[in-house]
Structure 1
């Protein structure tokens, strides 16, 4: 317990040092605070590369199966967002099932559909923005991986009857744990960043699936349009634009909060939950 308390105390002090000036100073959004430094520039370049790579792989026939493991993770975020909002609005989740072709389904009773239907896209966008934010720093990525593990376990509870869901969750947790033990978790930040970018833009990729590849399961946008008017394409575009804005907020916050160099991040990571 002592090492854990030491790690938590260290993280708290580090967060106060990093976030204190951001919360106190009036020039939070000044050019100096948001100036892009070496490590941040590399991270922004990686984000741009991720966007292009994912867009290509997601929509090219046959090649798109390369993304299958990560697509299943993002679908799990999507369904988890449906489930958690259903519980928060008085509904009950009966089961969750994931399918790389049909897109996943959350079976639930009750809840407020005006909230639970868009929650899949917007919830996964918020999760993605938070992961993108954490992807700017190694220690933050470690913390994010712990939260991810908890979310995956909750999804596993609801989807325990579906073998593909169970396999996806176990592989995801194993991947996160494995990356902890490589170079003081330095590669973990790139994994967290990749998942964050993919989750942030899931609504964009998914609307492409609906318009081009036509999944078997009807989309949340089409369900929302049937109940509240408008077209599925319209709601899909609206939610996609909101997702992009949420992602931009996560990127700006990451630039403002984590100005450290790669060397500083590696040194900090050696003091927080060290693996060797």
Structure 2
């Protein structure tokens, strides 16, 4: 293939001199270097972001410990049920978006859930449970870097929860789990101008991301559950459930890392600046 030659012409119609071309190239190189430097600076955490990263790390360690300690693990049970609600919501909303109809959603106290659907595209609805809950977790982790973003995220979650209650209106565990989560989020709005809400949203985001990855590895890679979403997906579209489990877990981890990096790039305000912004966005404070 012949090389492409780009000729620059000045306004007077004459080709530029070598000096002009060299200057243009140097300017372009300088612009590229500046863009790279800005990108690196955007990901360089501020003091407030370093605190947030430390809290995320503490959440990861705390969740990992509570997950495996006898009796104490029940502390996480309500949040596990909440993440399962996210999982089932992922199935349900994807079914609706691909032309299907949701018949019902139900949660199992033994940490399971079922979404009954008609129609929709199973190539999208089957992975949407695992990947949907991990994507929600990444978005909540992203929002957890900022108070106002956490407020907005809690409103969006509230709308999703209303849909979940509608689809699961015959299941009291689903209704109770969702209402408890809504009560927690609403209560946090009134503590220090919703500063507490940021840490709750961040915890739910980290929990959802970790639970999705662990659930995929536990069900599909380590234990090889025969009735999982991945086993059905493998039967319909080829491959093995373990293979799809590895792929979905990598995607889930990518979502989590992406949420953290996006938070670092987007929210550079200090803690005091965030509190001031929060006072002007649906202000609430009781304590």
Q: Hey, what does 1:55 align to over in structure 2?
A: 64
- Note the C-alpha offset of 1:27: 4.8
TM-score by length of 1: 0.85
Q: Hey, what does 1:91 align to over in structure 2?
A: 100
2:39 pairs with 1:30: yes
Q: Hey, what does 1:138 align to over in structure 2?
A: 147
2:113 pairs with 1:110: no
Q: Hey, what does 2:89 align to over in structure 1?
A: 80
1:201 counterpart SS class: helix
- Note the C-alpha offset of 1:163: 0.4
2:147 pairs with 1:123: no
How do residues 65-214 of structure 1 correspond to structure 2 at under 5 angstroms? 65-210=74-219
- What's the CA shift string for 1:129-179, capped at 9, x where partnerless? 111111000111011111111100100000000000010111111110000
Whether the aligned pair in 1 keeps the contact of 2:230 and 2:241 (CA below 8 Å) is yes
What 5-or-longer segments of structure 1 have no aligned partner? 1-24
- What's the CA shift string for 1:180-218, capped at 9, x where partnerless? 011111111010001111112332221354269979993
Alpha carbons of structure 1 residues 69 and 256: separation in structure 2 relative to 1, 3 Å = same
Whether the aligned pair in 1 keeps the contact of 2:101 and 2:120 (CA below 8 Å) is yes
- Note the C-alpha offset of 1:63: 2.8
- What's the CA shift string for 1:25-76, capped at 9, x where partnerless? 9458622111111110111111122122222323444332211111111111
**Greater relative contact order (Cα < 8 A, sep 6+):** 1
- Note the C-alpha offset of 1:89: 1.2
Whether the aligned pair in 1 keeps the contact of 2:216 and 2:248 (CA below 8 Å) is no
- What's the CA shift string for 1:63-94, capped at 9, x where partnerless? 32211111111111111110011111121110
- What's the CA shift string for 1:101-128, capped at 9, x where partnerless? 2510101111111110001111112111
Aligned partners of 2:244, 2:69: CA distance in 1, in Å? 24
How do residues 229-244 of structure 1 correspond to structure 2 at under 5 angstroms? 229-244=238-253
Whether the aligned pair in 2 keeps the contact of 1:184 and 1:275 (CA below 8 Å) is yes
TM-score by length of 2: 0.82
Q: What is the number of equivalent residue pairs in this alignment?
A: 252
Aligned partners of 1:43, 1:100: CA distance in 2, in Å? 32
- What's the CA shift string for 1:217-246, capped at 9, x where partnerless? 932122222222322222112111101111
1:104 counterpart SS class: strand
Q: Hey, what does 1:254 align to over in structure 2?
A: 263
Whether the aligned pair in 2 keeps the contact of 1:58 and 1:205 (CA below 8 Å) is no
Choose 1 or 2 for highest CA Rg. Answer: 2
